[in-house]
Amino acid sequence: MTTTETISASLLKALRRLRSIAVAATACVVATSAFAQSQVTLRVGDQKGGNRSLLEIAGLAKDLPYKIEWSEFPAAAPILEALNAGALDVGYTGDLSFLTVFAAGAPIKAIGGTRSDAHTQAIVVRKDSPIRSAADLKGRKLAGTRGGWGQFLISATLEKAGYKLDDATFVALGPVDAKTALLAGSVDAWAVWEPYISYAELKDNARVVADGEGLTPTITFVVATDAAIATKRAAVADFLQRLNKARLWSLDHNAEYARSTAELTKLPEDVLARAYAAQRTSPIAIDDTVQREFQQAADRATRYGLIGRQVDVGPALDRSFNAASGTN
């Protein structure tokens, strides 16, 4: 073997060794990365019969490359409080509630969400009520959630009917108390959402006299803290993608979804099946359409006095998860 051949053979062996080392190093990095990812804990706020049960019934809560620490809350407001305090990484809430907290300086962003049919926010009355349309709401006592979509829908409905906001009396009540007050005759109408609408119609013989068509975006946002977006991005993106897949699954499995949620919430299965069919809740991307509709709603909310100042919703929306969520 010539000196040149010897050098070539030695060089070839060296290159092979380097390649083996590189492959081993790459495998080590991948394994380390996967191990690190498995140690991430995503703290998620939920409500009974909410996202956790949806993921589980859709079969998407298995084989997670991270851990989820679920916390159950009675409503969206305390979820937002926990996000603001840094006690949660991810949660979900209606768009107006989210905007109110964001406008107050909470370090949170909307990273995804769902849209429901706007008819599933509505004003209902008793079966024997003389109220037949929005035109009959003048001078009446109208119940709804203060600062939320109940008060917003009442204000928007009165405005659309050509009335001033003080042409009716707003009564601030949560869903349980408002339902009782309506049935007792203490209030004349109730602004609410699903599944309360379906329950009112199916079980209490209530009637819908106005709805949110053309007035509300009817969006529920998935919200994450700025800290989670910065430090747990991969886990947050995967969680959002699973939620969107589960939501699409629910559209094709309405009966199964309603049956499962009924067992958890103790709400009647027929009410939930009707509500889900009416809502047709579907995943959305955070895009120009969402920003435009959200801004219009924010401007209305400011005009109605629900928000203390004008808010630019752009900084509240994070579009960087659209690709990972499968909605772009």
Kindly list the structural domains of the chain, giving each domain's residue range(s) and its CATH number in brackets, ordered by start: 40-117+218-325 (3.40.190.10), 119-211 (3.40.190.10)
What is the token pair recorded at 6? 């010897």
Q: How far apart are CA 167 and CA 149, in angstroms?
A: 19
Bridge partners of residue 141, in order along the sequence: 169
Indicate whether 265 pLDDT > 70: yes
Enumerate residues 6+ apart whose C-beta is below 8 A from 257. 54, 57, 250, 272, 276
Element at 277 (helix H, strand E): helix 269-279
Q: How far apart are CA 4 and CA 13, in angstroms?
A: 14
Model-wide pTM > 0.85? no
147-205, pLDDT tens digit by residue?
888 999 999 999 999 999 999 999 999 999 999 999 999 999 999 999 999 999 999 99
54-110, pLDDT tens digit by residue?
999 999 999 999 999 999 998 888 999 999 999 999 999 998 889 989 999 999 999
Q: How far apart are CA 58 and CA 256, in angstroms?
A: 10
Q: How far apart are CA 111 and CA 90, in angstroms?
A: 10
